[in-house]
Amino acid sequence: MLFSVCPSRTAWCVACLLAGLAGSAAAQDAAKLIPWSSKLEAGSGVSTVVVQPPSAGAGAVLLQGTVVLPAQQSDVVSMPVAGVVQAVLVAPMQTVRAGQPVARIMSPELASWQREWLLAETQARLAQGKSQRDEQMFADGIVSEHRRNESRAQYEMAALAARERRQALRLAGVGEAALAQASKTAGLSPQLTLVAPVAGTVLEQMATPGQRLEAGSLVAHIARAGRLAIELQASREQAEALRVGDALAVDGCKTPARITALSPQLSSVTQGVQLRAELTGREDCLRINQFVQLRWQGSAGAAAGALSVPAAAVLQQGGRHYVFVRQPQGFRAVAVTTGPGGGSDVLITSGLKAGDEVAVKGVAAIKGAWLGLGAEAGAGQ
pLDDT tens digits for the chain (381 residues)?
444 444 444 444 444 444 444 444 443 455 678 888 777 776 677 888 888 776 555 556 788 899 998 888 889 999 999 999 999 999 999 999 999 999 999 999 988 998 999 999 999 999 999 999 999 999 999 989 999 999 999 999 999 999 999 999 988 888 888 888 888 887 788 889 999 999 989 999 999 999 999 999 999 999 987 778 999 988 877 787 788 988 888 988 888 889 999 988 888 888 889 999 988 777 778 888 899 988 887 644 444 567 878 888 898 888 888 999 998 888 989 998 887 655 567 778 788 888 889 988 888 888 888 887 755 444 444
Angle at 289 between CA 94 and CA 71, to 5 degrees: 75
Question: In terms of DSSP bridges, do strands 357-361 and 47-50 run parallel, antiparallel, or are they unpaired?
Answer: antiparallel
> Can you give the pLDDT at residue 252?
86
The CA distance from 352 to 346, in Å, is 12
> Can you give the pLDDT at residue 298?
61
The CA distance from 59 to 237, in Å, is 13
> Can you give the pLDDT at residue 94?
92
Within the chain, residue ranges assigned H as helices are 11-23, 38-44, 108-139, 145-172, 176-185, 236-241, 300-303, 363-370, 375-379
> Can you give the pLDDT at residue 287?
87
Please choose, from the candidates 186, 152, 184, 192, the residue with its C-alpha nearest in 3D space to the C-alpha of residue 168.
Answer: 192
300: how many CB neighbours lie within 10 A of its CB?
13
Q: Say what the pTM is.
A: 0.55
Question: In terms of DSSP bridges, do strands 101-106 and 191-195 run parallel, antiparallel, or are they unpaired?
Answer: antiparallel
> Can you give the pLDDT at residue 102?
95
> Can you give the pLDDT at residue 31?
60
Q: What are phi and psi of 264, to 5 degrees?
A: -80, 0
